[in-house]
């Protein structure tokens, strides 16, 4: 009888351990922010322009003003920016608590997720610049 109880307790403990291990990944992969995002609009000095208009206004190419963001379901992200935003590429970790996406790369940057879009506000040269990303 003791042998059966020990086996039953061992089986219950194994189920509990396995159930505890499986919970963390689902929340990240279910987050609506997971996926590939491209910057579509820029708002600066009270004016909003799409990428092509912004490139024309600044005398730059669309590649110079691009910004791509890839948010992966494993809790990491990569970002690639054109020269107007420093021309950097990098990677970091992210967290999401509706409606705020927090990107941790050389400090923390937040984006607001609303209407299937991400809006990131940056400070550039003493000016506030908001960029909108869409999938």
pLDDT tens for each residue of 11-20 = 323 322 223 3
pLDDT given for residue 13 in this prediction: 31
Q: DSSP letters of the chain?
A: -HHHHHHHHHHHHHHHHHHHHHHHHHHHHH-TT-EEEEEEEEEETTEEEEHHHHHHHHT--TTTT-EEEEE-TTSEEEEEE-GGGTS-EEEEEEEEETTEEEEESSSEEEEEEETTEEEEEEEETTEEEEEEEE-
pLDDT band at 84 (very low <50, low <70, confident <90, very high): confident
Q: Which of 28 and 59 is assigned the larger pLDDT?
A: 59
pLDDT score of 31 more than 60: yes
Computed over every residue of the chain, the mean pLDDT equals 78
Q: What is the pLDDT of residue 17?
A: 28
pTM comes to 0.72
Query: For residue 87, what pLDDT is reported?
Result: 81
């Amino acid at each position: 009888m003791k042998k059966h109880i020990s086996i039953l307790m061992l089986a219950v403990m194994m189920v509990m351990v396995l159930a505890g291990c499986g919970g963390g990944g689902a929340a990240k992969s279910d987050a609506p922010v997971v996926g590939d995002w491209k910057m579509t609009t820029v708002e600066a000095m009270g004016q909003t322009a799409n990428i092509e208009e912004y490139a024309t206004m600044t005398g730059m190419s669309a590649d110079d003003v691009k910004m791509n963001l890839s948010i992966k379901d494993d809790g990491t992200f990569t970002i690639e920016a054109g020269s107007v935003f420093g021309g950097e590429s990098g990677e970091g970790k992210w967290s999401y608590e509706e409606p705020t996406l927090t990107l941790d790369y050389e400090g923390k940057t937040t984006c607001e997720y609303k209407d299937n879009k991400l809006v990131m506000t940056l400070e550039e040269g003493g000016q506030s610049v908001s960029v909108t990303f869409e999938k």
